[in-house]
Amino acid sequence: MHRRAMKGAIVVSIAAALAVSGCSSKSTTGGTSGGGSEAKLSIQAVGAFDTEGNALKAEAAATPVNPAGDGKAKCKDVAIAMTGALTGDDAALGLNIVNGVRLAVKQHNDANKDCKVELKEFDTEGSADKATQVVPNIINDKTVVGVVGPAFSGETQATGELFSQAGLVSATASATRPTLTDNGWKSFFRGLGSDALQGPAIANYVTKVKGAKKVCVIDDSTPYGTGIADEVKKTLGAANDASCTMQVKKGDKDFSAVVTKMSAAKPDAIFYGGYYAEAAPLLSQLRAGNVEAVFSAGDGVNDPKFVELAGNAAKGAILGCPCGEGPESFQKAYADLAGQEPGVYSAEAYDLATIMLTAIDQGKITRPDMLAFFKGYDGQGLQGTYKWNAKGELEKSGVWMYEVK
């Protein structure tokens, strides 16, 4: 989806999430890397917004599909897979996803004694190069009829054609680069809104709600980071100060050059396109250098690990995500299983796994049958209605805004 088509056209099924997320949070204890005494900080939901920065109202709630089904399913030798970063600097995001999938599979298998679906997990470490080595193993495993993943845009771009040629459903709970659905892949489905939605929503929120007149945009040179940064810059218009646009690299830890440039530019706000592993030290160093501009970022930063790593420097950060936290019943079941609260993409991963499990329960245990099921699917999940257009984009989705408090 291109931004022109998305702009102002979001009618979101968000009632269940809106009812609980306004008073929920992703908590952690802020350290002292940003200076000051230790304080308890959490990522708190502000609400759902459209691409113009306008708050969205909840619609009537619908009952989500239950992965347990009716408990009468019969199957054997069938599996679904999850692939993404399960180790490495960005593992927290991958673990959010895999735990959502694990919960759906557990609830299904506990209820269906004659249909035990296996979950196979494949670690890419978030690397496109590693993903190209891992994905052939998934494709060659004929028991796998659907995949939740890959997690990041770079690894998705690198492997999408492989999944497409194999006719194996690849449903991502997190890869948001808009151009992923322009590749002509036949088996790719995005389980949340793209950056063509998220970028404009964050940009307009920062300028219209937070009142920023001058914004500096920084990205981490990854497909995800540059993609969302480009969407933000396009929407900012005159508020985007091109003279302080910067690029860093994934894995960077020393941001002294950024601090120097931001100190001289004196922006009202900074937008960072990238992931929490770099965003945390970047923000800590900005605050240590007396750069007090509002810090904003997208879903790649929206994780409790960001607050843990950035400490008190994270206070006031604005974080977007085309995702929500799910109802309280899901949050409790997830915490019981994973030993921690759900994070970004957990509910989306749960929903995508649930769709695959529902297909299996209906006898769709071949890859062609699973693909046809996804193409024709129209059902309610924790995060809204799942129905895809011909390119694999959801027909309806929205963006949540969060603030670290």
Look-up of token digits 């088509």: 5
Residues linked to residue 130 through DSSP beta bridges, in sequence order: none
Residues contacting 361, CB < 8 A, separation 6+: 69, 70, 73, 75, 108, 112, 115
Contact 238, 279 (CB under 8 A): no
pLDDT digits (tens, 9 = 90+) for 244-290: 999 999 999 999 999 999 999 999 999 999 999 999 999 999 999 99
* Structure tokens belonging to residue 399: 């963006």
φ, ψ of residue 263 to 5 degrees: the values are -60, -40
The H or E element spanning position 224 is: helix 223-236
Residue 126 has pLDDT above 60, yes or no: yes
- Please name the CATH architecture into which domain 79-193+325-397 falls: 3-Layer(aba) Sandwich (3.40)
Instruction: Tell me which DSSP letter residue 57 carries.
Output: P
Contact 5, 395 (CB under 8 A): no
Instruction: Tell me which DSSP letter residue 53 carries.
Output: S
Residue 7 has pLDDT above 50, yes or no: no
Instruction: Tell me which DSSP letter residue 237 carries.
Output: G
Domain ranges of the chain: 3-12+25-56+195-323, 79-193+325-397
Look-up of token digits 């957990």: 346
Q: How far is CA 207 from the centre of its chain?
A: 23
By percentage, how much of the chain surpasses pLDDT 90? 83
Closest-CA residue to 235 (of 283, 298, 291): 298
pLDDT digits (tens, 9 = 90+) for 24-65: 455 443 443 444 434 589 999 898 888 998 888 766 568 999
Contact 109, 138 (CB under 8 A): no
Between CA 242 and CA 258 the distance in angstroms is 14
Residues contacting 326, CB < 8 A, separation 6+: 16, 17, 20, 334, 342, 346, 347, 350, 382, 383
Between CA 392 and CA 73 the distance in angstroms is 28
CATH topology of domain 3-12+25-56+195-323: Rossmann fold (3.40.50)
Residue 237 has pLDDT above 80, yes or no: yes
Closest-CA residue to 51 (of 226, 203, 216, 240): 203
Residues linked to residue 47 through DSSP beta bridges, in sequence order: 401
Higher pLDDT: 181 or 34? It is: 181
φ, ψ of residue 11 to 5 degrees: the values are -120, 105
pLDDT digits (tens, 9 = 90+) for 74-95: 999 999 999 999 999 889 999 9
Same topology between domain 3-12+25-56+195-323 and domain 79-193+325-397: yes
Of 38-42, 112-116, 195-199, 366-370, where does mean pLDDT reach its minimum? 38-42
Instruction: Tell me which DSSP letter residue 343 carries.
Output: -
Residues linked to residue 394 through DSSP beta bridges, in sequence order: 388
**Which pTM value belongs to this model?**
0.83
| 3-class state of residue 167 by DSSP | coil
Between CA 378 and CA 157 the distance in angstroms is 26
Residue 396 — very low, low, confident or very high, per pLDDT cuts 50/70/90?
A: confident
* Single-letter amino acid, residue 178: P
